[in-house]
Amino acid sequence: MFERKCIWLPYTRGGIRKNKSQASTHCQGLNATLVDILNQAMHNQIYSYVKRTWEFGRSNYVDVWLASVYTNGVVYKSNDEIGFASWFPGYPRGNLGHLMIEVVKNRPDSQGGVWNRPNSYIGIPLCIRPI
């Protein structure tokens, strides 16, 4: 929960990795959307939630889709307003991309961050809807 909205992973292990369009469609099928991160507090809460909820198995990380995009040096939320990203060191790369959080099992939460990736990259949807 964040500001009276429910944020969740539709599945917590395995599952089919999806490109961003497929991840968005998956959330829409659950009467939800992909999440936009609003601020550092929300970023921290989401990172911690995914880290403790995702069943990593043999993999050390999971890539999670967000709604926001990065265009020419600016993060935009899904409603086209200026957005927020707590970047992973060395990111953003290039001028374009769709945003994901890479959550790593053995990395301190404070070292986690957002990556910009092409829409074709695969990851797990992170959905949000009002309560």
* Percentage of the chain modeled with pLDDT above 90: 76
d(CA 66, CA 124): 9
- 28-85 tens-digit pLDDT: 999 999 999 999 999 999 999 999 999 998 888 999 999 999 999 999 999 999 999 9
The residue to which tokens 């936009």 are assigned: 36
Overall number of domains in the chain: 1
Residue 126 reports pLDDT greater than 80: yes
- Of 40, 93, 100, the residue nearest 69 (C-alpha): 100
Adjacent-strand bridge partners of 2 = 5
Range of the domain at 76: 5-130
pTM of this prediction?
A: 0.92
pLDDT at 96: 82
Domain CATH number, residue 72? 3.10.100.10
- Rounded distance, CA 81 to CA 20, Å? 19
For residue 86, what are its two tokens? 């707590």
Question: Which helix (H) or strand (E) covers residue 8, if one does?
Answer: strand 5-8
